[in-house]
Structure formats: structure tokens, C-alpha cells
Amino acid sequence: MYDQFYGLQGRPFQLTPDPHFYFESATHRKALSYLGYGLAQGEGFIVITGDIGAGKTTLVGHLMNTVDAARLTAVKIVSTQVEGDDMLRLAAQSFGLAVDGMPKAQILRQIEGYLHTQARAGKRTLLIVDEAQNLPISAIEELRMLSNFQLGGQSLLQIFLLGQPEFRELVKSPELEQLRQRVIATHHLDPMMRREVEPYILHRLSLVGWNGEPQFTAEAFNAIYAATGGVPRRINVLTSRVLLLGALDQLSVIDADAVYAVVADMGADADVTPQPMAHSVLDEAEELVELVAAPQPVAADPALSGEVTALRAEIDAMRKARPEPAAGLREEIASLRAEIETLRAEQDFARVVPSVDPEAVKDCFALVEERLSTLEFRVTEQDTALRRVLTLLVEWVEREERMSDAPHSAAA
């Protein structure tokens, strides 16, 4: 209904995962990097976990849309609570093999033959197992056994396992030690940060012909984040209802009050706009990183250029081995700031809603503030260390330059 009122060409916040609406948040960008790394390796297991509605299925769908189908055959299983033999049958059927009524040994031969045929045709095979948290140990072990198939020393099958957070605990069980040794990368999809909610919503609207109406105020985006915690599916549900209210009330601007009204109707707990954050020394993190990374002056003597280049290469290697502190911690700090904003919103909400324990919220707030202070101290400390290394390099180059100039002066 609201799509017609606002002149949209589709439903931007549908619950069915659609790779077309993929939005690259910070956590999704990391996950995509891990998946890309896994595909490049061509073997082993990649494990991606996330809460319900975190966007695991959309992420993998987006990845599959970017791969070359002429070089990679990717099939997907949405798992249920099936034992090992049934998992083999599901895998075989996903490869298009007719295995009804076949014994296990014959099913394995059929799968191995299929994988050999794919490899000889120059194609790799990828099996994606969604909802992996539902699998019993026996089914996971059968998947591990499938990953043993090789041809000429090359693995014939690679497997992506997607599951909810409890799957991480399942993988830690002693029975899955051999599987853990074959996991080459793993990532947990976190909720989006507060600053990502606005571009996420506008991104989805833009894909269905949004022309700027309705407009969303900054307070509306903050209220949506406070009520959903940044989980994509929750954002979709809430924003869809907000747009429906906007259509019914013929609103051209969606503000925080409209969000609050829908949240109250849906029975959500947190419906208070987060308060602005206080200034932090990490606001200058970008400038610090740029200063550390800036080229340093070097001696003009050509005789020293090779040695200086080697020293710089060594420092670059040190940086790669130990990433720049501000860059490495910035996302975690931003996430903590967003959590503090949410806690502040809940703290304000607790003053008027007796069901929320103000002391519990206060304790959580103190813990997050303490963690943020620790990270800020680490950034300052490690930044100082990097600056010291670069200073020593400059002093060394200048000393070598003076020493090389001394013989020339004596000769003159």
C-alpha cells in the first residue's frame, strides 16, 4: 500500500532475503572479505555466523551473483535436523544426482564421480549449508568426509557453513576437532552501527525509485536504531510499518514521533532517541593515522637510497604484521560508542518505565565506558610507539647524511 502512495516501484523492506538489496555495512564487508579469501583458497570450510536477521543469506546470495558460473558451481542446502546419511542424500540431490533408494556407499561414489567430472571440466564446486546450527554432529562429520575428495592433490569440494551464534559453540565440541582444523576462516556478523542505519534505509529506498518522499529526519533514524539495535531484519520490519503509517496519515516527513507511534504499537521496549555522544580524542584518529603514514624526509645522498628503501620496507612489513592501531580499533570503538548511545537511551527510558532496572543499565553503561577508555589508551600508546620508530629512522638518515658529507668537507 505505501509503495503506491509514495510512488515506489517495489517493496524495499520485504523480509525475504534478496541479494539485489545487499548493503555493505562494516561487518558485511569483513564477512565478504573472508568469503572471497575462502574462495581463493579453494578448500576447507568457511564459517559465517550471525543472529537471526543479521543478513547471512543475503550476503551469500550477493557473493554468488559476483562469481563466474563458468568456473564455479555453487549449490545451497537449507539444512534441517537430518542425520548423516540424509545429509549425504541432500548434498547429492543438490548436485542434481538421482540417489533415491541407493545405499550410502553408492551415494558417495556418485558424489565423487560428479566432483571429478566438474574438476576435469575446469570447474570448482562449492556447497553452501544454511541454518547449520540445526545439524547434528553426524551430519557435520559427513560434510567433513565429503571435503576429503581430491584429484591430483587438489580439493574437489569447498563448503560454506552459515548458522546462528550457537553454531560457534557446536563447532567447539570435542567431536568436531577435525572439522576445526579445516576451518580456514570464520566471521560473526554483528548488527549494524548507528551511523549505518540511515545509508542502509536510503539505499534500499533508492533501489525502488524513491524520489525523496517521504523524507526521514535524523531523529527518526536514531529512533529506528534504538528500537532495533541495528539488526537488518528488525529495521526492515519497523521501517515498513513506519512507511505504512506514513501512507495512512499522508505524511511527507517521517520524524521520531512517527517511529515512536509504530514502536508503541508493535510493543518494542526501547523507543527513546539516543543522546549525542561526548567528544572523544578518537575523533582525531584519522588525522593521527595520516600523520604516521605520511612520507618522511630522506637524505639526498644516492649512496644511502638503497639502505633507506630497505629500512622503509622493513617498517612497512612491521605495519602489515601489526596494523595501525587507530585503523585496527576504529570500528570496535565506533561499535562501543553506538552501544553507549543505546544504553543512554535505555537509561532515559528506565526513568519512566518501572520494568527496566536502572541499576542494571547503569552497570552496563560503566562497563562499556571502561572498555572504550581502554581502547583509546591503547590507540594513544601504540601511536606513540609508531611515531618513535619513524623518528629513529629520520635521525638515522640525517646522521648518515652528515657522516657522508664530512669527508667531502675535509677534502675541500
To the nearest whole number, what is the mean pLDDT of the chain?
A: 77
pTM of the model as a whole = 0.61
pLDDT in tens, 106-138: 999 999 999 999 999 888 899 999 889 988 999
Query: Can you tell me the distance from the alpha carbon of 326 to that of 282, in angstroms, rounded to the nearest whole number?
Result: 8
Scanning 267-357, the segments in alpha helix (DSSP H) are: 285-293, 302-321, 325-350
Mean pLDDT of 324-333: 56
Domain positions in the chain: 26-189, 193-266, 281-411
**Which residue is listed with cell 545451497?**
76
CA distances from 351 to 244, 345, 354 (A): 31, 10, 7
Query: Can you tell me the distance from the alpha carbon of 217 to that of 127, in angstroms, rounded to the nearest whole number?
Result: 43
Res 315: pLDDT: 57
Tally Cβ neighbours within 10 Å of residue 296: 12
- Provide the percentage of residues in the chain whose pLDDT is more than 90: 29
Q: Which of 102, 146, 140 is nearest to 125 (CA)?
A: 146
Give every CB contact of residue 321 below 8 A, 6+ residues apart in sequence: none
**What CATH number has the domain spanning 26-189?**
3.40.50.300
Torsional class of 136: left (φ above 0), alpha (ψ -120 to 50), beta (otherwise): beta
Q: Choose the CATH number for 193-266 among 3.90.25.10, 1.10.8.60, 1.10.3720.10, 1.10.10.10.
A: 1.10.8.60
Contact 346, 272 (CB under 8 A): yes
- In this prediction, residue 19 has a pLDDT band, given cuts at 50, 70 and 90, of confident
pLDDT in tens, 35-56: 888 888 888 899 999 999 898 8
Mean pLDDT of 192-197: 92
Tally Cβ neighbours within 10 Å of residue 91: 24
